[in-house]
Chains A and B, each alone.
Chain A
């Protein structure tokens, strides 16, 4: 079955960087576009970024454009989110996922941006 496991979250100071990873299994990772979505404490779900199956195209929400970079390594079945210039408002649980025939999402990793 489809399994997505995020890692790399933690507490980071404003202005610093963090890289999230998402290990995928149970499906042909290299055939599917993949997304990052986040949820700030007590708030709804917000789409963050998407990368095409082959990495050829990437799109971002305006709130993270120019600061976050999505990438993937199909040889390792792993999705990444490089987050630079972090702000307090980036504090959230970050979920990776994709439309693998049906929507599938991981359990999330918490990022806290605080001094």
Chain B
């Protein structure tokens, strides 16, 4: 089973700042089958990035994903007020199951 470790656990930033979130896998993620989600309280996770770097439909271009193998990054170029939330990474290339990281909370400083 691939274990995903997200860091930091909490990121305290101000609107307009750049956010860099890390997701490290215990083994190489097959074909970059790595996704990022945003979740706000009381809501379902929202897909932001799939295939490590492809933005999902309707996602603003301030969100970008990068990485391969075992190291992946989600970058929010300039934080908007609505971006303060919890972010999860997920790998979906290692059958049969899926695994999620523990999450990074981006909070207002």
| Interface residue ranges, A against B (CB under 8 Å) | 35, 37, 44-47, 50, 57, 59, 61, 93, 95, 99, 102-108
20 extra A-B contacts, CB within 8 A, seeds A44-B88, A106-B44 = A35-B97, A35-B98, A37-B98, A44-B100, A44-B102, A45-B90, A45-B100, A47-B97, A50-B96, A50-B98, A57-B96, A59-B96, A59-B97, A61-B97, A95-B44, A95-B45, A102-B35, A102-B50, A103-B50, A104-B47
| Interface residue ranges, B against A (CB under 8 Å) | 33, 35, 44-45, 47, 50-51, 54, 56, 88, 90, 92, 96-103
Q: How far, in whole Å, are A46 and B97 apart by their CA atoms in the complex?
A: 10
B residues near A93, Cβ cutoff 8 Å: 44
Q: Which B residue's beta carbon lies closest to that of A59?
A: B96
Given A44-B88, A102-B50, A102-B56, decide whether A107 and B99 contact each other with a Cβ distance below 8 A.
Answer: no
A residues near B92, Cβ cutoff 8 Å: 99, 103
